[in-house]
Structure 1
Amino acid sequence: IGHGSRDTAAIAEYNQFATILADQLKLPVHSCFLEFADPPIVDGIRTCVEAGAKQVVALPLFLGPAGHQKNDVPAILNWAKAEWPHIDFKYGTPLGAQPQIIDALAARAAEAIDRSPNAIPAAQTALILVGRGSRDPDSNSDVAKAARMLWEGRDYGWVETAFYSLAKPDIETVIDRCLKLGARRIVTLPYLLFTGIIRQRLDDRALAAQAHYPGIDILTAEHLSSHPGIIEAVLYRYQQVLDGTAAMTCDLCKYRHQMVGFEDEHGLPQMSDHHHGLRGVGHSHSHSHHHGPNPPVNNLLPPRYQNGGEVSAAPMGSTPFKFKEDGSPAWDEMWTDFCDLALAGGPPHRGHLLEPVLPDDVRANPYAYEAVLAELERGLRMVTGLPVVRSEAPGWIGLACSDEAMALWLLRAIVVENIAVRREGHILYFPAGPNYKLENEIKNIITAAAKTHHYWAEHLNGK
């Protein structure tokens, strides 16, 4: 099971890897993908079943234990177990920081250095292991662990950790840090299995850094791809499945343990959606069916639900993030249907009222504030299609409604969602602050806007 990519070279690399693996295992190996490419996971499983398999081993070709491994793949396997109860389904663990992978990373770094004409001592060389980045601290910590293991026993002056997106520090920050510490050569080392858009953009960022620091040797190593060490690592995970020793560690899982900054995700149910793990599974296969409402309620529903359409009761606060291939949040694709979102229970922002920060807080951290405004503007545009305006008063961002009646209704509805909003004519202002986090305040504001705007547009305004 691969992540998937819209890049044809990435899919070709993945299929080549699967061919090598099949040759090593002497077993049928069927490729499938979580997103961005076909076939989806369910089709891979179905192919195995139709071929007469009595046992299906799902091997996740992911480096770290994040949401895809903990939620999306288990969700489709649970569905498959109910669909084909006579089949023995087994699930391997993510690759993790195995010795074979550490050796493969060391080899990629050495290859990059060998291509450079400059003779610089290892003690003045810094490796930067660049992970994809995740909202799961367990997965991010795996990158840090791999970096430490890469440094141990070798002569490099530094092995640092950076992330492409979703986590800090970024590549540019770490390059600057290494230079201040005295590095004369920097090797950016992609902690990626296959090529694709992210791989290409890592190259672009390294080239930009080289142009910015022309006196420093800044190199980019190859990604892991079909290095023999990666094949060995996958074979080891497969053998663990056969031995019955494959098990996810839950010691640092944010769903099992309450962690600072991730309190809202503690205890969340294991789930996926029809863009990821359940991609290719018809909605009618859901194990939670909700039939048409009683006639008195019928008139209160958006038009598409008034004739007994299926209603989703999944709480919007637990909706998993969906990202575009470049790593940015796919706000317009995060919910299967906005009507489902409009009918979901409970406000997205729980606890205290979400209010704007003090102007002094904005002035103290202008760069973080600008980043928050940019993401709020992007998300609000995507889910409403309305113009977004910047407020002259710090701590606010405006949504230009079609008229004052719409702005007034949205204001009343969003305040109920536990978010402080204000109105000036047809402009509805949402709170904003430099400390707002993508997975918390930013998501909550965009969720409330999507929910209430869609209900206004399809239900109230359509009457």
Structure 2
Amino acid sequence: MNHDAAPSMAEPAPAGVMLIGHGTRDTEGTEQFFQLACQLDAVLGRRDVPLPLAACLLEFQEPTISQAWDALVARGVKHIHVAPLLLFAAGHARDDIPKALATCQQRNPDVTWDQAGPISRHGAILDLLERRIGEVTGRLDGLELDRTALVMVGRGSFHPCAQADMRVLTEVLARRMNFAVHRTAFYAMAEPKLPEVLSAVATDDITDVIVQPHLLFQGRLFDAIAEQVAEAGQRYRGVRFHVAGYLGPERAIAQAIHDRVLCTLGFLA
């Protein structure tokens, strides 16, 4: 990836941040993305040298990456820290976003950019996931942890590294929360699929199954996962199935994005 030379520590160029969301046709999910952008703007504003922020969406809606680029350039930004709002690095982070940015840079060859990594297993994300799962366990009467299965379900990706990261995330959370029975599932593009995993864990030894959709916001995917869990509940009447909440526009995610940007800088803009 050719980003040109970044500004030196001695003479830092005016820098800004571009937050790139995936985009969704769901109105609530879109609103939540921009709520998160406000959270991130507040975090960036606390810095000694505040970084201007432009939020945009990769698909389905505006503002686009091109529009966000132009907005930052209009504010005098000469170096853009690109923060993809992605849980794992896959095709969008590796291909689609860099291509779009390279096209933008052709209009402004004097403007440079770098790209932060996915928020993945940042400590704030792990803490937030524990909270979401804890919201379920805390309201269940008579829960026996040794007879409860945790199923983490991701959107899914053809990229093997993204699949592996999802499986590692499940292992880390299961150890932190003492779930002896735990599985990773995917909604699409990877195996095993969620219905197969739900059938596998619905045994005589299991009384409860907690499904954590590893998603950022409300959308059709969250609804589809909840529907598959409800269908499993109809098939396996002796097991209680529970759907935990998605991550949501939380300050913890804004902090994780901020920290990923800092890791990318090489200098503090």
State the 1:22 CA deviation: 0.1
Q: Give me the whole-angstrom Cα distance separating, in 2, the residues matched to 1:69 and 1:179.
A: 36
Equivalent positions of 1:348-387 (< 5 A) are none
Q: Does 1:22 align with 2:46?
A: no
State the 1:157 CA deviation: 2.2
State the 1:181 CA deviation: 7.2
**Structure 2 vs 1, CA of residues 160 and 227 (structure 1 numbering), >3 Å: closer, same or farther?**
farther
Q: Give me the whole-angstrom Cα distance separating, in 2, the residues matched to 1:154 and 1:31.
A: 34
Aligned to 1:121: 144
The secondary structure found in structure 1 opposite 2:199 is helix
**8 A contact 1:113–1:219 mirrored in 2:** no
Aligned to 2:21: 2
State the 1:209 CA deviation: 1.3
Q: Does 1:12 align with 2:28?
A: no
Aligned to 1:34: 58
**8 A contact 2:183–2:197 mirrored in 1:** yes
Q: Structure 2: which amino acid aligns with 1:121? A: E
Residue of 174, 180, 202 corresponding to 1:151 = 174
- Tell which has more relative contact order, 1 or 2 (C-alpha 8 A, sep 6+): 2
State the 1:130 CA deviation: 0.5
Q: Does 1:58 align with 2:82?
A: yes
State the 1:232 CA deviation: 2.3
State the 1:95 CA deviation: 1.3
Q: Structure 2: which amino acid aligns with 1:22? A: D
TM, length-normalised to structure 2: 0.86
Q: Give me the whole-angstrom Cα distance separating, in 1, the residues matched to 2:203 and 2:233.
A: 15
Residue of 120, 123, 126 corresponding to 1:102 = 126
Q: Point out the structure with the larger strand share.
A: 2
Q: Give me the whole-angstrom Cα distance separating, in 1, the residues matched to 2:168 and 2:117.
A: 17
Q: Deviations over 1:422-443 (max 9, x none)?
A: xxxxxxxxxxxxxxxxxxxxxx
State the 1:135 CA deviation: 0.8
Q: Does 1:201 align with 2:217?
A: no
State the 1:218 CA deviation: 0.5
Q: Does 1:112 align with 2:136?
A: yes
The secondary structure found in structure 2 opposite 1:112 is helix
Q: Structure 1: which amino acid aligns with 2:31? A: A
**8 A contact 1:100–1:229 mirrored in 2:** yes
Q: Give me the whole-angstrom Cα distance separating, in 1, the residues matched to 2:54 and 2:87.
A: 19
Aligned to 2:4: none
Aligned to 2:198: 175
Q: Give me the whole-angstrom Cα distance separating, in 2, the residues matched to 1:50 and 1:146.
A: 40
Q: Give me the whole-angstrom Cα distance separating, in 1, the residues matched to 2:204 and 2:111.
A: 56
Q: Does 1:43 align with 2:62?
A: no
Q: Does 1:79 align with 2:98?
A: no
Q: Give me the whole-angstrom Cα distance separating, in 2, the residues matched to 1:50 and 1:235.
A: 23
Equivalent positions of 1:256-295 (< 5 A) are none
The secondary structure found in structure 2 opposite 1:53 is coil
The secondary structure found in structure 1 opposite 2:226 is helix
Q: Deviations over 1:283-302 (max 9, x none)?
A: xxxxxxxxxxxxxxxxxxxx
State the 1:50 CA deviation: 1.5
State the 1:47 CA deviation: 1.0
The higher radius of gyration belongs to 1
**8 A contact 2:226–2:243 mirrored in 1:** yes
**8 A contact 1:150–1:159 mirrored in 2:** no
Q: Give me the whole-angstrom Cα distance separating, in 2, the residues matched to 1:181 and 1:168.
A: 24
Aligned to 1:234: 257
Structure 1 stretches of 4+ with a deviation exceeding 4 A read none
Q: Does 1:185 align with 2:204?
A: no
Q: Give me the whole-angstrom Cα distance separating, in 1, the residues matched to 2:152 and 2:234.
A: 20
* Structure 1: 5+ residue stretches without partners: 246-463
The secondary structure found in structure 2 opposite 1:32 is strand
**8 A contact 2:36–2:251 mirrored in 1:** no
**8 A contact 1:6–1:36 mirrored in 2:** yes
Q: Give me the whole-angstrom Cα distance separating, in 2, the residues matched to 1:175 and 1:24.
A: 39
**Percent same amino acid among aligned pairs?**
29
**Structure 2 vs 1, CA of residues 164 and 120 (structure 1 numbering), >3 Å: closer, same or farther?**
same
Q: Structure 2: which amino acid aligns with 1:238? A: V
Q: Deviations over 1:399-425 (max 9, x none)?
A: xxxxxxxxxxxxxxxxxxxxxxxxxxx
The secondary structure found in structure 2 opposite 1:59 is strand
The secondary structure found in structure 2 opposite 1:93 is coil
Q: Give me the whole-angstrom Cα distance separating, in 1, the residues matched to 2:204 and 2:136.
A: 22
**8 A contact 1:95–1:237 mirrored in 2:** yes
**8 A contact 2:65–2:101 mirrored in 1:** no
**Structure 2 vs 1, CA of residues 126 and 51 (structure 1 numbering), >3 Å: closer, same or farther?**
same
The number of equivalent residue pairs is 244
**8 A contact 1:125–1:156 mirrored in 2:** yes
State the 1:87 CA deviation: 1.3
- Give the RMSD, CA atoms, in angstroms: 1.6
TM, length-normalised to structure 1: 0.51
Residue of 81, 91, 104 corresponding to 1:67 = 91
Q: Give me the whole-angstrom Cα distance separating, in 1, the residues matched to 2:233 and 2:267.
A: 48
Q: Structure 2: which amino acid aligns with 1:18? A: A
